[in-house]
């Protein structure tokens, strides 16, 4: 793991965001995690890219050591995008940055690239659907609606918290760490770090509040501006993702003229953990030649 320092950065509305930083030279490379993770989801990428970039991995608002505003509306996607915009302008005011996002972090990446492409040099999204195509899939693809049904459960009041925290976060441990038959490579120390992040006061509710604001995603579908993404973009996809089907990639080039797609046939939604070398190699190739 790269040598990491920690700092607080102000997001939108004075929200304090925790950031892990590695490397002190080169273009800023900002990493955004999804649910139910935190900054250490990116430690393999930070070890690789801190050699020639200034790498920063955020705890998004509501997660781990970042502030957790109590209002459900605080976790609407436009507020998360505003947080990231503040971070980029604070950390890289003179040159556009590289943004890498997975899951919710990738959704934020799509939105930021639409709203403020001038802030980005390159965009990497990992198993995170383009909002227009995801809306298409939810509307027209029964399989995607079934695969996304968990999101409806996450919007219930209190029940998801009780379910996900039961038996010492057994459900979250199964989702992130895998099963005994198909374990993912997590050290005991890293497993404990995830447990500690989930145990932070109000962290689980804050993470679920992203789903409780799904209606706010309509903000992403409004016009104008158009949904064409001018930023050179790499989409990495684990084809065995049970929640986000690979059909979300169909037609992506119509919205992203400078697009590179790389698919892994056996990886799942958790491709960053399952295939870290593959992820790093493809990002490296994209940054050098994309």
- The residues carrying an active-site annotation are 103, 211, 269
Per-state percent for the chain, helix, strand, coil, to nearest 5: 50, 15, 35
Query: Which long-range contacts does 11-16 make (Cβ < 8 Å, 24+ apart)?
Result: 11/61, 11/67, 11/82, 11/83, 11/84, 11/86, 11/87, 12/79, 12/82, 12/83, 12/85, 12/86, 13/79, 13/82, 15/61, 15/66, 15/67, 15/69, 15/74, 15/83, 16/66, 16/67
- Using an 8 Å Cβ cutoff, are 84 and 61 in contact? no
| CA pair distance 167, 206, nearest whole angstrom | 20
For residue 39, which of 23, 57, 55 has the smallest C-alpha distance? 57
Q: Which of 92, 94, 89, 127 is nearest to 109 (CA)?
A: 127
CA distance 93 to 9: 14
- Crossing angle between the packed helical segments 203-211 and 188-199, to the nearest 10 degrees: 80
Q: Phi, psi (5° rounding) for residue 83?
A: -55, -50
Q: How far apart are the C-alpha atoms of 107 and 96, rounded to whole Å?
A: 19
Alpha carbons 240 and 231: distance in angstroms, whole number:
27
Handedness of CA 179, 270, 75, 132 (dihedral sign): negative
């Amino acid at each position: 793991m790269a040598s990491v320092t920690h700092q607080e950065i102000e997001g939108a509305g004075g929200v304090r965001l925790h950031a892990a930083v590695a490397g002190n030279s080169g273009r800023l490379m900002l990493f955004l995690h999804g649910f139910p993770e935190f900054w250490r989801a990116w430690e393999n990428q930070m070890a690789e890219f801190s050699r020639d970039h200034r790498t920063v991995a955020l705890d998004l608002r509501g997660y781990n050591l970042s502030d957790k505003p109590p209002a459900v509306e605080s976790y609407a996607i436009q507020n998360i995008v505003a947080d990231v915009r503040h971070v980029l302008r604070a950390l890289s005011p003179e040159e556009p940055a590289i943004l890498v996002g997975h899951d919710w972090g990738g959704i934020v990446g799509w939105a930021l690239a639409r709203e403020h492409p001038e802030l980005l040099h390159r965009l990497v999204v990992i198993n995170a659907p383009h909002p227009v195509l995801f809306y298409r899939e939810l509307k027209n693809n029964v399989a995607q609606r079934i695969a996304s049904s968990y999101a409806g459960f996450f919007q219930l009041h209190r029940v998801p918290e009780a379910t996900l925290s039961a038996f010492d976060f057994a459900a979250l441990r199964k989702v992130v760490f895998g099963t005994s038959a198909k374990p993912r490579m997590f050290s005991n120390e890293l497993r404990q770090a995830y447990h500690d992040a989930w145990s932070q006061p109000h962290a689980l509710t804050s993470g679920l509040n992203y789903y409780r604001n799904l209606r706010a995603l309509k903000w992403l579908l409004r016009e104008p501006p158009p949904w064409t993404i001018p930023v050179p973009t790499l989409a990495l996809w684990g084809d065995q993702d049970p929640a986000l089907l690979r059909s979300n990639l169909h037609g992506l080039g119509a919205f992203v003229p400078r697009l590179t797609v790389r698919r892994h046939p056996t990886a799942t939604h958790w491709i960053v953990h399952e295939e870290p070398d593959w992820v790093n190699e493809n990002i490296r190739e994209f940054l050098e030649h994309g």
